[in-house]
């Protein structure tokens, strides 16, 4: 007996040992598996950020195949989609001409933009943010032009649970006592805001192009740059488009601003920079840039690097700007000083030439005016010779100006090769040079100020009245709704009871919705609103069981009471709509609805697309519309976008 017990204990001990060893092996295997999945994921991230999108997809696929972590798997799938986006965007990319770049602080980078000089930065006041449920604790700057009729800003609706969205407000035409009044804020429409954050919106000078950054739209990861055009016909913004590589990258790219003269644009990125700083790029703007397909990933990376002499911002310390790579060599400093002296001389020559050209052009204008007033041929011939001499002299001056400006621009190129920003070459503006030319840099790193908008009034949105819930139900307390805006079509209700005095809520026993109607000296109470007799009949059974034994079904058509039998006949004959009422609908397509059409419909209207199946044939419509003009305008907008099969149809009820 003792031997058997001892044997049992030994076997039990071995089983426990084997069990724990098994657990250890399983845990080690899972740990190894998870480590492998993390390694695959990290490799995918590294490859994606270096534009190796195909290899990155393979690494993410490896992470998905070996991971048992649902969070890691979901992240790998999400990042794999970014690689698909990268493969799409890298097919055709622009090769921009980067004029200069500057390293700026991440905290206040936007203040170093050249505002050109039509606007300034503001922080949306709390009196505005409160209208979109933003607490105002973390405000993002907005670009404000005093002469613009629209302002776009970013705010976070704390009640929605989403990130920062874009809103726009319009200036009212009437202004009194120097106080500017703005209409209530609105969202720009579908295709702009996402589940992520939309930040740093700016408008072009004409107000027809919106630029912003987002980390929730089609992109490569992080924040990417987007643009949207104002659709004059639809009176809304078109869906946003990614501005493409190299302006969008796997890093964070933000705050695109186009200069007023459309010669340059600016944006910042944290690619190729240290933490807590950004690089501000000044780039030559091309309205229709030629796009290329990179021959290799190396070429793609080279274009996306936006290599320029990067300058360290030392405006707050008063230091001389130097390249981030280190101080200039002595030889470069000597060349730079010599070039600076020659450059100053050229600037003076350009000013003198511009003055002389202006003087000659004024003389020519006077001579030509005198020539037109002369009547004697001899006098006209003499003055004609003088005009000819002046024209030749003017041509010589203009040629000298061209050569002098070119020489100055060559020195600018030399400055940029050293990482030094030279003064800009004076340009001909009404034949005069601006008075502040000496203070104007080709790339101005000076810190801007923030403007106050205290004298502005922002109207609150009109409160949205929630629709009445017409669902027949029983609650803790009955809901009484007014008898108004009744449908013209056929419907049924329950008549509960008639009393001489208003019934207290407790007498209604929680039935909802209830309609209270005074008829003469008595009050009649009705409940529910049903489109079919079967629905009304089921509700009647429930109401009687709940304590309304005298309830009956009543019917209405074209807002008039009709016998229930008449109503049921109309219902069986499918004549529930009002007689002689015509509505309209837009036919879209048969069998299948193209995805691009769905996007365009969503951008143009809030009406739903209706799918109708009749005799095994599938058709898609928008509607109904109460008037032909509304339907016709929408149909024409779709036809203008290439959907020529779209037509307006009359619906006879």
Q: 88: phi > 0 → left, psi -120 to 50 → alpha, else beta; which?
A: alpha
Cβ–Cβ < 8 Å for 354, 348: no
Cβ–Cβ < 8 Å for 472, 527: yes
In this predicted structure, what is the pLDDT of residue 449? 82
Question: Judging by beta carbons within 10 Å of its beta carbon (0-12, 13-18, 19+), is residue 520 exposed, middle or buried?
Answer: exposed
pLDDT over 90 percentage in the chain: 30
In this predicted structure, what is the pLDDT of residue 412? 59
Q: What is the pTM of this model?
A: 0.55
Q: How far is 305 from 281, CA to CA, in rounded Å? A: 11
Write the CB contacts of 547 (distance below 8 Å, at least 6 apart in sequence): 509
Cβ–Cβ < 8 Å for 404, 343: no
Cβ–Cβ < 8 Å for 218, 187: no
Q: Return the number of other C-beta atoms located less than 10 Å from residue 472's C-beta.
A: 20
Does residue 158 carry a pLDDT above 90?
A: no
Write the CB contacts of 378 (distance below 8 Å, at least 6 apart in sequence): none
In this predicted structure, what is the pLDDT of residue 501? 93
What token pair was written down for 391? 């024209």
In this predicted structure, what is the pLDDT of residue 528? 94
| Class (C level, CATH) for 2-89 | mainly alpha
What token pair was written down for 569? 């006949």
DSSP sequence for 116-129: TTT-EEEPPPHHHH
**Between 3.30.70.1070, 3.40.47.10, 3.30.9.80, 3.40.50.300, what CATH number should domain 582-652 receive?**
3.30.70.1070
- Rank 341-355, 557-571, 573-587 by mean pLDDT and report only the highest: 557-571
Instruction: Tell me what the mean pLDDT of segment 568-577 comes to.
Output: 90
Per-residue confidence band for 375, with pLDDT thresholds at 50, 70 and 90:
confident
Instruction: Tell me what the mean pLDDT of segment 601-608 comes to.
Output: 82
Instruction: Tell me what the mean pLDDT of segment 629-649 comes to.
Output: 86
Q: What's phi and psi for 88, nearest 5 deg?
A: -70, -50
The helix or strand, by DSSP H or E, that contains position 53, with its residue range, turns out to be helix 53-66
Write the CB contacts of 45 (distance below 8 Å, at least 6 apart in sequence): 56, 79
Q: Does 161 or 169 have the greater pLDDT score?
A: 169
Does residue 151 carry a pLDDT above 90?
A: yes
Measured CA to CA in angstroms, residue 363 lies from 353, 370, 378, 390 at distances of: 15, 11, 20, 8
- Rank 38-42, 343-347, 527-531 by mean pLDDT and report only the highest: 527-531
pLDDT over 70 percentage in the chain: 80
Instruction: Tell me what the mean pLDDT of segment 363-383 comes to.
Output: 78
Q: What's phi and psi for 247, nearest 5 deg?
A: -75, -25
Q: How far is 619 from 612, CA to CA, in rounded Å? A: 5
CA angle 198, 202, 203 (to 5 degrees): 130
- Ranking 30-39, 125-134, 293-302, 317-326 by mean pLDDT, the lowest is 317-326
Cβ–Cβ < 8 Å for 144, 119: yes
In this predicted structure, what is the pLDDT of residue 413? 58
Q: Return the number of other C-beta atoms located less than 10 Å from residue 322's C-beta.
A: 15
Does residue 115 carry a pLDDT above 80?
A: no
Q: Does 203 or 6 have the greater pLDDT score?
A: 203
In this predicted structure, what is the pLDDT of residue 324? 40
Instruction: Tell me what the mean pLDDT of segment 16-36 comes to.
Output: 53
Q: Give the residue from 205, 165, 163, 200 showing the smallest Cα distance to 185.
A: 165
The position carrying tokens 């964070």 is: 252
In this predicted structure, what is the pLDDT of residue 557? 92
Span 539-564, pLDDT tens digits: 999 999 999 999 999 999 988 999 99
In this predicted structure, what is the pLDDT of residue 561? 93
Q: How far is 426 from 44, CA to CA, in rounded Å? A: 50
Q: How far is 443 from 438, CA to CA, in rounded Å? A: 13
The position carrying tokens 């149909």 is: 635
What token pair was written down for 613? 């199946």
The position carrying tokens 């290439």 is: 642
The helix or strand, by DSSP H or E, that contains position 380, with its residue range, turns out to be helix 377-418
Per-residue confidence band for 218, with pLDDT thresholds at 50, 70 and 90:
confident
In this predicted structure, what is the pLDDT of residue 17? 54
Q: What's phi and psi for 109, nearest 5 deg?
A: -55, -35
Instruction: Tell me what the mean pLDDT of segment 193-204 comes to.
Output: 92
In this predicted structure, what is the pLDDT of residue 37? 83
The 3-class secondary structure across 489-520, one letter per residue, is: CCEEEEEEEEECCCCCHHHHCCEECEEEEEEC
- Ranking 149-153, 563-567, 584-588 by mean pLDDT, the lowest is 584-588
Span 414-459, pLDDT tens digits: 555 544 444 444 444 343 434 433 333 456 567 888 888 878 888 8
Q: How far is 103 from 93, CA to CA, in rounded Å? A: 25
Instruction: Tell me what the mean pLDDT of segment 487-502 comes to.
Output: 93
Cα Rg for the chain, rounded, in angstroms?
37
In this predicted structure, what is the pLDDT of residue 566? 95
Q: How far is 204 from 171, CA to CA, in rounded Å? A: 17
Span 36-92, pLDDT tens digits: 888 889 998 999 999 999 999 999 999 888 888 888 888 888 888 899 988 988 888
Does residue 638 carry a pLDDT above 70?
A: yes
Does residue 400 carry a pLDDT above 90?
A: no
Q: How far is 242 from 161, CA to CA, in rounded Å? A: 25
Q: How far is 272 from 579, CA to CA, in rounded Å? A: 71
In this predicted structure, what is the pLDDT of residue 418? 46
In this predicted structure, what is the pLDDT of residue 581? 54
Q: Give the residue from 565, 577, 584, 571 showing the smallest Cα distance to 624.
A: 584
Instruction: Tell me what the mean pLDDT of segment 244-263 comes to.
Output: 90
Q: Does 468 or 81 have the greater pLDDT score?
A: 81
Q: Give the residue from 144, 138, 112 showing the smallest Cα distance to 126.
A: 138
Helices (H), 138-204: none
What token pair was written down for 470? 């017409």
Q: Does 565 or 611 have the greater pLDDT score?
A: 565
Q: Return the number of other C-beta atoms located less than 10 Å from residue 359's C-beta.
A: 13
In this predicted structure, what is the pLDDT of residue 326? 38
- Ranking 89-93, 215-219, 348-352 by mean pLDDT, the lowest is 348-352
- Ranking 126-140, 168-182, 524-538 by mean pLDDT, the lowest is 168-182
In this predicted structure, what is the pLDDT of residue 532? 95
Q: How far is 218 from 221, CA to CA, in rounded Å? A: 9
Q: Return the number of other C-beta atoms located less than 10 Å from residue 146's C-beta.
A: 11
Side-chain-side CA neighbours of residue 620 (13 Å): 16
- What's the mean pLDDT when you consider all of the chain? 80
CA angle 615, 616, 617 (to 5 degrees): 90
What token pair was written down for 525? 């109470």
Per-residue confidence band for 30, with pLDDT thresholds at 50, 70 and 90:
very low
Which residues are 492's β-sheet partners?
A: 530, 555
Side-chain-side CA neighbours of residue 645 (13 Å): 10
Does residue 16 carry a pLDDT above 80?
A: no
Question: Judging by beta carbons within 10 Å of its beta carbon (0-12, 13-18, 19+), is residue 337 exposed, middle or buried?
Answer: exposed
CA angle 537, 624, 470 (to 5 degrees): 35
């Amino acid at each position: 007996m003792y031997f058997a017990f001892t044997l049992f204990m030994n076997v039990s001990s071995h089983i426990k040992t084997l069990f724990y060893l098994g657990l250890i092996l399983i845990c080690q295997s899972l740990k190894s598996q998870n480590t492998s999945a993390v390694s695959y994921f990290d490799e995918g991230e590294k490859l994606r950020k270096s534009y190796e999108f195909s290899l990155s997809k393979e690494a993410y696929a490896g992470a998905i195949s070996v991971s048992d972590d649902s969070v890691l798997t979901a992240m790998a799938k999400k990042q794999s989609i970014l690689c698909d986006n990268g493969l799409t965007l890298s097919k055709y990319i622009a090769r921009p001409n980067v004029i200069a770049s500057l390293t700026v602080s991440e905290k206040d980078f936007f203040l170093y933009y050249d505002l050109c000089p039509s606007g300034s930065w503001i922080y949306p006041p709390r009196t505005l943010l409160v209208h979109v449920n933003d607490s105002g604790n973390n405000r993002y700057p907005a670009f404000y032009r005093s002469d613009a009729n629209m302002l776009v800003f970013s705010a976070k609706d704390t009640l929605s649970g989403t990130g920062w969205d874009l809103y726009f407000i319009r200036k009212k035409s009437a202004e009194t006592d120097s106080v500017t009044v703005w209409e209530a804020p609105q969202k720009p429409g579908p295709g702009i805001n996402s589940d992520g954050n939309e930040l740093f919106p700016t408008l072009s000078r004409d107000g027809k192009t919106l630029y912003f950054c987002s980390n929730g739209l089609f992109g490569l990861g992080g924040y990417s740059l987007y643009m949207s055009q104002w659709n004059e016909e639809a009176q809304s913004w078109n869906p946003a488009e990614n501005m493409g590589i190299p302006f969008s990258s796997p890093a964070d790219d933000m705050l695109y601003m186009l200069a007023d003269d459309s010669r340059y644009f600016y944006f910042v990125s944290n690619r190729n920079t240290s933490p807590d700083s950004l690089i501000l790029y000044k780039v030559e703007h091309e309205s229709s840039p030629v796009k290329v397909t990179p021959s290799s990933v190396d070429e793609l990376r080279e274009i996306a690097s936006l290599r320029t002499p990067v300058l360290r911002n030392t405006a707050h310390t008063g230091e001389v700007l130097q390249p981030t790579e280190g101080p200039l060599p002595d030889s470069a400093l000597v060349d730079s000083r010599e070039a600076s002296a020659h450059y100053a001389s050229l600037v003076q020559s350009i000013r003198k030439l511009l003055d002389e050209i202006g003087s000659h052009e004024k003389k020519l204008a006077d001579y030509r005016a005198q020539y037109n007033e002369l009547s004697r041929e001899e006098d006209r011939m003499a003055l004609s010779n003088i005009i000819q001499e002046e024209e030749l002299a003017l041509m010589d001056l203009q040629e000298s100006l061209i050569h002098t400006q070119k020489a100055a621009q060559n020195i600018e190129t030399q400055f940029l090769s050293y990482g030094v920003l030279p003064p800009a070459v004076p340009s001909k503006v009404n034949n005069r040079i601006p008075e502040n030319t000496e203070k104007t840099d080709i790339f101005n790193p000076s810190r801007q100020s923030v403007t106050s908008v205290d004298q502005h009034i922002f109207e609150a949105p009109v409160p949205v009245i929630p629709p009445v819930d017409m669902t027949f139900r029983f609650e803790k307390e009955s809901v009484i709704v007014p008898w108004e805006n009744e449908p013209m079509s056929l419907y049924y209700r329950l008549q509960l009871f008639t009393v001489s005095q208003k019934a207290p809520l407790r007498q209604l026993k929680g039935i909802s919705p209830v309609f209270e109607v005074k008829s003469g000296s008595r009050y009649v109470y009705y409940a529910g609103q049903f489109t079919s007799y079967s629905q009304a009949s089921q509700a009647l059974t429930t109401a009687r069981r709940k304590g309304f034994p005298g309830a009956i079904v009543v019917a209405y058509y074209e807002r008039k009471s009709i016998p229930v039998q008449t109503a049921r006949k109309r219902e069986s004959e499918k004549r529930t709509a009002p007689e002689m009422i015509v509505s309209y609908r837009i036919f879209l397509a048969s069998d299948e609805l193209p995805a691009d059409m769905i996007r365009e419909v969503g951008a143009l209207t809030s009406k739903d697309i209706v799918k109708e199946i009749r005799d095994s044939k599938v058709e898609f419509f928008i509607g109904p519309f109460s008037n032909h003009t509304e339907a016709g305008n929408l149909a024409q907008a779709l036809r203008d976008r290439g959907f020529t099969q779209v037509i307006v149809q009359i619906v006879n009820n």
